[in-house]
Copies of this chain bind each other. A is one copy, B any other.
Amino acid sequence: MKRLRVELGDRSYPVIVGEGVLEHAGELLRRAGFSTAPIVVSSDRVLGLHGRRLLGSLERAFSKCPVIRIGDGERFKNHQTLAMLYRELLRAGADRRSWIVAFGGGVTGDVAGFAAATYMRGIRYVHVPTTLLGQVDSSIGGKVGINLRQGKNLIGAFHQPSAVLADTAVLQTLPARELASGLFEVVKCGAIRSRPLLAYLEKNLDRVGGCRSDALEHVVASAARIKADVVSRDEREGGLRMILNYGHTVGHALEAATRYRRFTHGEAVGWGMLACVGFGQQLGALTGAEAGRLSALIRRVAPLPALEGIRCGSLWAALARDKKFDSGRIRMVLLRRLGEAIVRNDIEPARLRRFLSGFLAARGEWS
């Protein structure tokens, strides 16, 4: 087991990564200072696969835990689920000292975390993420929230968890495409902050994809450490934390332009990084050799759904909604070199649009 830490003064918390963490959840959380049984929020799917291990451990350490079941998937990340959570928390007698264990993927973490952020002006919660994306990214940093009909994550808060427990063994049960989705975020972590992680992935990608436990533990811990470190330095995305959005400007626009149906989040970020690599090279920010190396790694993670049929106009409209070019320039994260990101505030919209038009026309190739 590897133990990291998000350093945020009196809101600091541990991130524990390793195979078998679930079985030790109860004792780990007792040691972290909890003394009463939590209320567990999860989905039928996750409880069916891993529920017994977590609940058994929690119940050995505390007592029987109430369980609130919510739907699985992005369409449940809404007001209805939130209202149901509030109701069930009240029914379970939750008060200011109660705490929640959010056990599942990003949706469970986001909505249960937001319920924790707002129930009686905020109660404690612990993330037990069961997807790779959750373990390396969304469970760390305190971003919680729900979607509105008008857009994703429009309602939310920064509410840091009290602990994150990432059991890499649960990743074995993930569908290959969901594992790959998380791997693109791992590649991103390497790209912005760690050449060693990139080198490890280049050498061990097959072992990671095959869920070899030492390899999984290594990449989850490495990527989670990068996220934890960035969040520790900039909790509310005032500066440094923006580098975590590498590949996301174009990625989000691709997701929106295809109505969130064609790409997983990671795949969209994969395409977004490929675009950034090409654009960065055009701006002279990245050498051809480094650009080629990162692109090759991204391509190796998993095949990306084609860009076929996405018009530059709709991609650009989605990007403009996301970014609001009111200053006349676009802010974008680019790489200075592999392992080192910079936030550029001076991107000329016309130039980016020209590049993206060519990128789409060449179906993701660039020259």
Interface residues of chain A, those whose CB is within 8 Å of chain B, are 79, 83, 86-87, 90, 95, 117-122, 143, 145, 148, 150-151, 153-158, 324
Report the separation of the CA atoms of residues A251 and B323 in the bound assembly, to the nearest whole angstrom: 49
Contact residue among B90, B150, B154, B157 (Cβ-Cβ distance under 8 Å from A117): B157
Report the separation of the CA atoms of residues A42 and B360 in the bound assembly, to the nearest whole angstrom: 47
Report the separation of the CA atoms of residues A118 and B113 in the bound assembly, to the nearest whole angstrom: 13
Interface of A is mostly: mixed
Check A83–B90 contact: CB distance below 8 A. no
- Return 26 A-B CB contacts under 8 Å, by A number: A79-B79, A79-B83, A86-B148, A86-B154, A86-B155, A87-B150, A90-B148, A90-B151, A95-B324, A117-B157, A118-B118, A118-B145, A118-B155, A118-B156, A118-B157, A119-B154, A119-B155, A120-B154, A120-B155, A120-B156, A121-B145, A121-B153, A121-B156, A122-B157, A122-B158, A157-B157
Q: Which residues of B contact A119 (CB under 8 A)?
A: 154-155
Check B121–A90 contact: CB distance below 8 A. no
Min C-beta distance of A117 to chain B, whole Å: 7
Check B122–A90 contact: CB distance below 8 A. no
Contact residue among B86, B121, B157 (Cβ-Cβ distance under 8 Å from A143): B121
Report the separation of the CA atoms of residues A296 and B52 in the bound assembly, to the nearest whole angstrom: 63
Q: Which residues of B contact A155 (CB under 8 A)?
A: 86, 118-120
Q: Which residues of B contact A122 (CB under 8 A)?
A: 157-158
Q: A79-B83, A143-B121 are in contact. Are A90 and B150 (CB under 8 A)?
A: yes
Report the separation of the CA atoms of residues A119 and B153 in the bound assembly, to the nearest whole angstrom: 9
Min C-beta distance of A107 to chain B, whole Å: 17
Q: Which residues of B contact A154 (CB under 8 A)?
A: 86, 90, 119-120
Check B90–A158 contact: CB distance below 8 A. no
Report the separation of the CA atoms of residues A145 and B150 in the bound assembly, to the nearest whole angstrom: 23
Nearest B-chain residue to A120, judged by Cβ: B154
Report the separation of the CA atoms of residues A157 and B118 in the bound assembly, to the nearest whole angstrom: 6
Report the separation of the CA atoms of residues A180 and B324 in the bound assembly, to the nearest whole angstrom: 48
Report the separation of the CA atoms of residues A286 and B95 in the bound assembly, to the nearest whole angstrom: 32
Min C-beta distance of A138 to chain B, whole Å: 14
Check B121–A158 contact: CB distance below 8 A. yes
Report the separation of the CA atoms of residues A256 and B158 in the bound assembly, to the nearest whole angstrom: 32
Min C-beta distance of A361 to chain B, whole Å: 31
